Amino acid sequence: MMASAAEAIADIEDGASVGIAGFGLSHRYPSTLISALAEKGTRGLTVYCNGLGQPGFPTGHVLAENHQIAHLVTCFSARPGVVSEAEKQIDAGEMTLEMVPQGTLVERMRAGGAGLAAIYTPTGFGSEIAEGKDIRYFDGRPYVLERAITTDFALIRAQQADHFGNVVFRGGSQNFNVSFAKAARVTIVEAEEIVETGAIAPEDVDLPGVFVTRVVPITVRMDIRNLPKRANRPPSSAKEYLGKPALTREQIGRRAAALLPDNSVVNLGAGLPVQVANWVRDRPVVLHAENGLLNYGGFATDEELDPDLHDAGGMFVTTRDGTSFFDSVTSFEIARGGRLYAVILGTYQVGANGDLANWSAPGMIGGGIGGAMDLAAGAQHVFTTLEHCDSRGRPKLVERCEFPLTMPNCVDAIITDLALLRRPSRGGRDPGRFTLEEIAAGFTVDEVLSMTGMSVDVADPVGVMQEAWL
C-alpha cells in the first residue's frame, strides 16, 4: 500500500503507455489516479481505454484537456452531440488515433498478459479496421490477425483490496480492469476500502495480488447522479412522418422484445436497443451486457440506482434471480463464442444486402465502435432498431451503405418506428432481400416504401406492428 496517488504514479514518465480502465462516460474511472497523473503533468502518453469518459470530470478526458496524450487507442473517440478536446487534437494532428473494437481490445490485453504475441479474431473482417492486417481462413471463415498489447502501467479502480494486492470488484464493474491489470508491467489500484491481508476470502478474490503492484485509497469520486446527459427525445414521444406519429422509442423496443423467443440469450446495444429491457419483464429471456452482466432486469428507479449495476449503454438496471457478473473478457467469450441468440444494435444505416454501418458518420473524428463488431460477428442473429429516416428526412435503409461498415451482410431483422423487415437467416448462403412484414398503424405500405431507400419484397398480407405485441 502507498500513502498517496501522487506517490503511486511518480514513476510514470513522459512517453509511457498507460491502460486506463472505466466504462462509458462515467462508470468507475480511476479518478484518484487520473487526477494525480494530470497534476504531475506527464506528457507524450500512449493511452489505452474503452473511452476517455465524460469531458469536464475526473476521467481520461482530463489528460486530453492537459495535452498529455500523444497516441490514443480506444473504442470510442467521438460521441454524437459534442466535440471533445481529444477530437480537436486528433483533427489538428496533435494526437494520433487507433480505433479498436471493444472485445478485440480486451482480448489483445488478455493475450499480452498471457505472454502471447497475437490472436486471430473474426471481429472486424469486412470493415476498415481490418485494412492492412493479415487475414487467414480457418474452417472456411475469415479471421483478422491482431497483435497482443502490453503496457507500462495500468490504472484501475476496485471496491476492495488488501495489502497483498488481492482485489475485489463490485457488481458489473469488473469490465476492463482485469485484462488491463494483467497486461501491464506496473498495475496501480485505487480502492474504496483497503483491508488487512486475509480479510478477503480466497474465493472472493477477482484479481490475484500477483497482478497488482501498488494500492492506494480513493480520494476523488464522481457524482454519477448529477452528470450531464445528452439530450434525446423522450422514449414516450413519437417522431412524425407525413404529419402522422410513428412508433415511440419505447414501442420500437417493445416490438423488438416480442421477436425474442423464450430462453434466448440476447445482447442489447447502447442507445435505442436498451428500451428492450423494460419489455422483457418476467419472461425467460436472458439479457447480456458486454461490460459484464448476464440475466439483468429493466431500468432502475432513482431509489433502486446502484452505481455498479448498469448496462453497456450506461443505463442503471436491476438484477433478477440468477444474475451474474464477470469481466469483459468473459463477456466477449459469450458473444464471440456463439452463445447469443441475437444482438440488437442501433445503427446509422442498413444496406439492402444486410450490411451494417453503426460506428461512424460524416463529421465524426473516428467514432464509437464499442462492442458492436464483436457482437455482430458472434451472435446467431443481428437485429437493428432505428428510426426510419434521419433528422433531415433521408432514409436510413439504403441500397448501399455510405458510412463505414461495422460488418457486411449480417443483419437479419430491422425494426424501425415505421416498419418491421426481415430476411432469412444467413446460414452460409445469400439470404436475399428484406421483406416488409409489418408497418406502423396509420401508415400505408406505399407511404412506408416511399421513405425506404432500399429495394424490398412486400409480404401478403402486411401486418400492423402495434398488433403484434397484444
- Total-model pTM: 0.95
Say if residues 309 and 171 touch (Cβ distance below 8 Å).
yes
Is 344 within the bounds of a domain?
yes
Helix pair 328-336, 102-113: axis angle to 10 deg: 120
pLDDT at res. 430: 67
Is 315 part of any domain? yes
CA distance 18 to 69: 10
Mean of pLDDT values over 77-93: 89
Query: What CATH number does residue 263 fall under?
Result: 3.40.1080.10
324 and 245 within one domain:
yes
Residues, the chain: 470
Q: Is residue 458 part of a domain?
A: yes
pLDDT at 313: 85
Based on the fold, state whether residues 300 and 404 are members of the same structural domain. yes
Residues 90 and 132 in one domain: yes
183 and 301 inside one domain: no
Residue 227 inside a domain? The answer is no
User: What domain count does the chain have?
Assistant: 2
- Report the pLDDT value the prediction gives residue 174, as an integer from 0 to 100: 93
Do 174 and 213 have their domain in common? yes
Sign of dihedral through CA atoms 365, 366, 370, 373? positive
Percent of the chain with pLDDT over 70: 97
177 with 109, same domain? yes
The model's pLDDT over 268-293, given as tens digits with 9 standing for 90+, comes to 999 899 999 999 988 999 999 999 99
Residues annotated as catalytic (active site), given as ranges: 290
Domain identity same for 168 and 253: no
Residue 68 is assigned to a structural domain of this protein? yes
Structural domain span for residue 444: 238-469
Is residue 321 located within the same domain as residue 189? no
Residue 331 lies in a domain: yes
Domain end marker among 168, 187, 218: 218
Q: What is the pLDDT of residues 176-211, one digit of tens each?
A: 999 999 999 999 999 999 999 999 999 999 999 999
CA 363-231-81 angle, to 5 degrees, is 15
What does residue 420 show for φ and ψ, rounded to 5 degrees?
-115, 125
pLDDT at 155 exceeding the cut of 80: yes
Return d(Cα 184, Cα 151) in angstroms, integer.
5
pLDDT-derived band at 91, boundaries 50, 70, 90: very high
Q: What is the residue-averaged pLDDT of the chain?
A: 94
Question: If you average pLDDT over residues 368-385, what whole number do you get?
Answer: 96
Domain boundary among 167, 190, 218: 218
Q: How far is CA 270 from the centre of its chain?
A: 7
Asked whether residue 263 falls in the same domain as residue 208, the answer is no
Cβ–Cβ contacts within 10 Å for residue 65, how many? 17
CA distance 414 to 419: 8
pLDDT digits (tens, 9 = 90+) for 37-75: 999 999 999 999 999 998 888 999 999 999 999 999 999
Pair 347, 207 in one domain: no
Task: Specify whether 201 is located in the same domain as 284.
Answer: no
pLDDT score, position 426: 62
- 212 and 242: one domain? no
| Domain-embedded: residue 224 | no
pLDDT digits (tens, 9 = 90+) for 217-239: 999 988 776 665 555 567 878 99
Q: Of 154, 189, 218, which residue is a domain's last?
A: 218
Tell me, what's the pLDDT at 2?
82
Q: How many CA atoms lie within 13 A of 256 on its CB side?
A: 36
Q: Is residue 209 part of a domain?
A: yes
Q: Residue 27 half-sphere exposure, CB side, CA atoms within 13 Å?
A: 28
Task: Output the pLDDT for position 432.
Answer: 84
Q: What sign does the CA torsion over 162, 155, 20, 35 have? A: positive
Q: Are strands 381-386 and 413-416 parallel, antiparallel or unpaired?
A: parallel
**Residue scoring higher pLDDT (10 or 426):** 10
- 468's CB contacts (< 8 A; 6+ apart) are 255, 258, 420, 438
Helices (H), 114-214: 177-183
Mean pLDDT of 384-399: 96
- pLDDT in the model for residue 232: 59
